[in-house]
Amino acid sequence: MTGSGAGGPVRRIAVLLEYEGTRYAGSQYQKNADTVQAALERAVSRLTGESVRVALAGRTDAGVHAKGQVVSFLSASTHTSDVLARGLNFHLPDDIAVRKAAEAPLRFDVRRQAVSRWYRYTVCRRGPRPALLRRYAWHVEEPLDAGVTAEAARALVGEHDFAAFTRPSLKGRSGTVRRVQRAEVLQRGDLLLFDIEANAFLPHQVRRTVGTLVRVGRGRMPAEEFERLVTEAPPGAARYAAPPQGLCLMRVRYEIELFGNETREDVQS
């Protein structure tokens, strides 16, 4: 870490971040494309004069959004948390915003110490295509049975091998067992909200899960077949991934309260 901002003792800063992922090649740094991480690192450098590498709690793909991404970095800046939040927002583009900033324990690991991650996927069931939701929802024109979909989603809860819902090449190379704490389908008028919370997720797991559940709701796959994908875990068998724009990382939960005691209702508002 270098720069004119260095001078005081090194602190670990945690940031609660929201962003619209439409124009980014994902959250993680990439050499030849703009990412959320790169934009945040530029903002930190402009505010503090330091060159830092930030760590993110969860990886989001190109076009995926976040309301509750958590990021941390080391800094010798003496700015208060409020000044850091306001200053970073001044230097960030309009589609990325710091909701809160806080000082975390120096040994805090933003990724490994996460207890759970909550994702929400939004499907719009309205007949005519929506203009205002085109960047934030998957428009499904065919009839979609919410009750059947919700019933099938219950099979996800618990500890399972989710190899069926990720790239087949991951099976055998790394662990594909995850623990899902909650899987719900909520109706909000024309919208169906797929909420899933787990200790961690495999690459494309949520989008492949939603894509397959939508097939169940359309009557293109029996619910028993979906349950078989969960219980038998044939690698890569859930091939139908929902498009990225409907997915949003809502919250990352830790044993310590970094930003105050936010409830689920606070996050959804």
What is the domain partition of the chain in residue ranges? Answer: 11-113, 116-249
Topology adopted by domain 116-249: Alpha-Beta Plaits (3.30.70)
Q: Which whole number is the average pLDDT over 167-196?
A: 90
pLDDT band at residue 170 under the 50/70/90 scheme? confident
Which CATH number is correct for 11-113, 3.40.50.300, 3.40.220.10, 3.40.1010.10, 3.30.70.580? 3.30.70.580
- Helix intervals (H) in the chain: 36-48, 81-91, 146-153, 205-217, 223-232, 264-268
**Rounded Cα distance, 57 and 108, in Å:** 11
- Summarised one tens digit per residue, pLDDT across range 26-85 is 999 888 999 999 999 999 999 999 999 999 999 999 999 999 999 999 999 999 999 999
Catalytic residues: 61
pLDDT at 182: 97
- Summarised one tens digit per residue, pLDDT across range 108-152 is 999 999 999 999 999 999 888 899 999 999 999 888 999 999 999
- Domain 11-113 identical in fold to domain 116-249: yes
**Rounded Cα distance, 38 and 126, in Å:** 36
- Summarised one tens digit per residue, pLDDT across range 213-261 is 999 999 999 999 999 999 999 999 999 999 999 999 999 999 999 997 6
pLDDT at 183: 98
**Rounded Cα distance, 35 and 37, in Å:** 5
- List the structure tokens of 159: 């500890």
Residue 214's alpha-carbon distances to 67, 143, 155, in angstroms, are 24, 10, 15
Question: Considering the chain, what is the average pLDDT of its residues?
Answer: 92
